[in-house]
Structure 1
């Protein structure tokens, strides 16, 4: 599905994503997994695959004339031990702005299945797949913003979170 919202106009995507200072993220995951960089790159790639002229940014003036997508990691749940230590999840807030004005805000949450049937991947590899799924979710939402004005959705996490499939035997 082509992204017509940004036809002829670049969209700047925050890479790396910001980490909410109060975000509950296990210390080892924060230090070892690089989820802020992964999430930003996955969103940038997914938006580009939808036909947009997507470009990364680190710091933008508050009233940047381009459309800007600000990404903030709100929480990460996941302990060492890969799939054996249970499900992993991440919540992310996406803010789409133009000229400093909000075009839309939404929170996305994804989780892995975890457990012995969740595959043999390590924690960072599982969270990498979660970040990839979140990047695609954000890109789909950005594409859906065409023709909308200041859409701000509730910031509460959804009652049921989509799952990310775990490839067996990895």
Structure 2
């Protein structure tokens, strides 16, 4: 009787895990990703996304931390793979204009086949008291918005993510702060 109960519990645990969606970590950067190196090092956007998307998936899964290491056995779970393609943000917090994160998201079945793909771009000016927030804090707001979008996208196959329009301030900031390249720094 005890063996039968144990087998039943193990089967239930496997079935529950198989219907879950897990974020594949670490989140990576696309080879051609546009991001300021200082912001990449200081803000660690990949960790922001992991800490914003992982808990959202854990809530959908009703347990666990919502993540799985790249290459680990998914035990039949669906995987969410994120790749950062662009980060708009330089030092200076809200004073240097709006911040944005753009990611590609792939939902993969347990065999690695892509079930769905989307591109997400979220902007932030920092919200209330944005002028007093740093670049990383403002980018974290974008990561949180991406987490909310992905929770709905993963849960509802008919949901289409609509990318936000570029804020008017972004165009002005791009003109006011030209891109610095290694050739221009000397």
TM-score range, shorter chain: 0.7 to 0.9
Structure with more helix by fraction:
2
Structure 1 length-normalised TM: 0.75
Of structures 1 and 2, the larger Rg is shown by 2
**Equivalent residue, structure 2, for 1:70:** 81
Asked if the contact 1:16–1:39 (Cα under 8 Å) also holds between the matched residues in 2, the reply is no
Structure 2 length-normalised TM: 0.69
Q: Does 1:160 align with 2:160?
A: no
1:159 shift after superposition: 6.5
- Runs of 4 or more above 6 Å deviation: 61-64
Helix, strand or coil at the partner of 1:119: helix
Q: How does 1:33-72 map to 2 (within 5 A)?
A: 33-53=43-63, 55-60=66-71, 65-72=76-83
**Equivalent residue, structure 1, for 2:154:** 142
Task: Answer 1 or 2: higher relative contact order, Cα 8 Å, separation at least 6.
Answer: 1
> Equivalent of 1:129, from 131, 141, 144?
141
Q: Does 1:13 align with 2:18?
A: no
Query: C-alpha separation between the residues in 1 aligned to 2:72 and 2:26?
Result: 16
Q: What stretches of structure 1 of length at least 5 have no aligned partner?
A: 1-6, 163-170
Q: What stretches of structure 2 of length at least 5 have no aligned partner?
A: 1-14, 168-186
